[in-house]
Amino acid sequence: MGLWEVTSEMLRVEGLEVVLGGVAVVDGLDLEVAEGEIVVLLGPSGCGKSTLLRTIVGLERPSRGRVAWSGEDLTSVAPHERDFGLVFQDHALFPHMDVASNVAFGLRVAGLPVEVREARVAEVLDLVGLSGFGERPVDALSGGEAQRVALARSLAPGPRLLMLDEPLGSLDRALRDRLVADLGVLLRGIGQAAIYVTHDHDEAFALADRIAVMGDGRIQLIGTAAEVWSDPVSAYVAQCLGHENIVELDRSGACPLGRLGDGPGTVLIRPGQLLLSRCPDGIEATVVGSSFRGDRFSLCVAVGNLEVRVPAAEAVPVGSGVRLSIGPDPVLPLTSITP
């Protein structure tokens, strides 16, 4: 089978529990990753996503549950025998080796002939956009180049599953945006199954076939980007995904914006349903903050003791009075904010 050929294999995690220091960091979790699929684990620090990744690769032992590939139980299999690749945030390159030697490390350990190693190193360096970098010392690389080398090293053996743990977390925003787009093209181009860990919702939406939002050691919601965005179910998930206008209603279903429900609870004001208005009978608000987001402005406005976000085509000075309008289907009910 060629280096990039894939079969109908699948990762299956069933009932996984990982206890560290007496705490269930991963708590009865199930997950599947299909052939060629990119699943992003999204959530804040401490939610269990990196521990899950380490357990799948075999660096942590579960208290119960199992990790399987195409029906084969790997729970007790050593990490180096699972044929999974792993990329960390700090890329962990060998400083005394040049780029080609770093990329070839796993191939050399596997005992591949020199000519095969050299061909694969050249192939993966070309894949990650570093053709001709083989003889460069790693201390001469930029942060983005070093992370590409780490990716090439993980891809070189042709792993059946690639796992990436916050791989772009140390890079600046512009470089991260460019690299995550390149990464998506690369992984889909070779049909590589992957699990990608991040706390950044923009990365998740740019890369994922499915997003699994983690909290309290469990998957709180999993689905395509469109599915989880349109129906986040809970306030916790909505916050993780980048939704901003999460509002508490009183017993009558009201808040400073007006009556938005039939009783108390937490609701999400749907994107596009709360806008600036020129109508004289619009909801009075005061601009308390403004930020530029590439193609538009985002205003933070106060209505009584409630602050919400609304888009704007141009800057509006802080302290200005504005009016708001609410659309015909403005809110989505959510469960409580704690997972």
Position 272 in a domain: yes
- CATH code for position 266: 2.40.50.140
Q: How many CA atoms lie within 13 A of 22 on its CB side?
A: 0
**Cα distance between residue 152 and residue 23, in whole Å:** 35
How confident is residue 6, by pLDDT bands cut at 50, 70 and 90? very low
For residues 219 and 295, membership in a common domain is answered with no
Structure confidence by residue, pLDDT tens digits, 298-318: 999 999 999 999 999 998 999
The torsion angles phi and psi of 136, rounded to 5 degrees, stand at: -75, 140
What confidence tens digit (pLDDT) does each residue in 60-90 have? Answer: 999 999 999 998 999 999 998 999 998 887 7
- Residue 117 lies inside a defined structural domain of this protein: yes
pLDDT band at 337 (very low <50, low <70, confident <90, very high): low
Position 3 confidence tier, pLDDT thresholds 50, 70, 90? very low
Whether residue 1 is contained in a domain is answered as no
Q: What is the pLDDT of residues 25-51, one digit of tens each?
A: 999 999 999 999 999 999 999 999 999
Each residue of 251-294: pLDDT tens digit?
A: 999 999 999 999 999 999 999 999 999 989 999 999 999 998 77
Q: What is the mean pLDDT of residues 144-164?
A: 90
Answer yes or no: do 213 and 252 share one domain: no
Q: Report yes or no on 3 lying in a domain.
A: no
For the record, the structure tokens of 42 come out as 């999204």
Give me the residues paired with residue 275 across strands: 325
Looking at the structure, tell me whether residues 75 and 110 fall in a common domain: yes
Rg (CA), the chain: 24
Q: Do 271 and 217 lie in a common domain?
A: no
Is residue 339 in a domain? no
Query: Do the Cβ atoms of 234 and 220 come closer than 8 Å?
Result: yes
Quickly list DSSP for 160-189. Answer: SEEEEESTTTTS-HHHHHHHHHHHHHHHHH
**Residues 199, 166: contact at Cβ < 8 Å?**
yes
pLDDT digits (tens, 9 = 90+) for 215-232: 999 999 999 999 999 999
Please report whether residue 254 resides in a domain: yes
Round the average pLDDT of the chain to a whole number and report it.
91
**Which of 2-6, 99-103, 271-275 has the lowest average pLDDT?**
2-6
Same domain, 223 and 302: no
Task: Based on the fold, state whether residues 204 and 304 are members of the same structural domain.
Answer: no
Same domain, 306 and 185: no
Strands (DSSP E) along 96-200, which ranges?
Answer: 161-165, 194-198
Query: What pLDDT was estimated at residue 320?
Result: 96
Burial 221-237 (b: 16+ CB within 10 A, else e): bbbebeebbeebbbbbb
Q: Give the amino acid at 91.
A: H
Instruction: Give domain status of residue 125, yes or no.
Output: yes
Backbone angles phi, psi at 150, to 5 degrees: -60, -40
Structural domain including 40 reads 11-239
- Pair (254, 302) in one structural domain: yes
**Domain's final residue, options 239, 267, 290:** 239
255 and 234 in a common domain: no
CB 17 within 8 A of CB 27: yes
Which of 239, 264, 298 is the C-terminal boundary of a domain?
A: 239
Based on the domain organization, do 120 and 199 belong to the same domain? yes
pLDDT above 50 for 5: no
Tokens matching residue 80: 């180096």
Give yes or no: residues 71 and 158 share one domain: yes
Count Cβ atoms below 10 Å from residue 108 Cβ, excluding itself. Answer: 11
pTM for the predicted model, two decimal places: 0.90
Shared domain for 16 and 163, answered yes or no, is: yes
Domain presence at residue 190: yes
Query: Looking at residue 69, which CATH number applies to its domain?
Result: 3.40.50.300
Last residue of a domain, one of 197, 212, 239: 239
pLDDT category at 338 given cuts 50, 70, 90 is: low
Give the total number of structural domains in the chain.
Answer: 2
Give 138's DSSP letter. G
The answer on pLDDT for 182 being more than 60 is yes
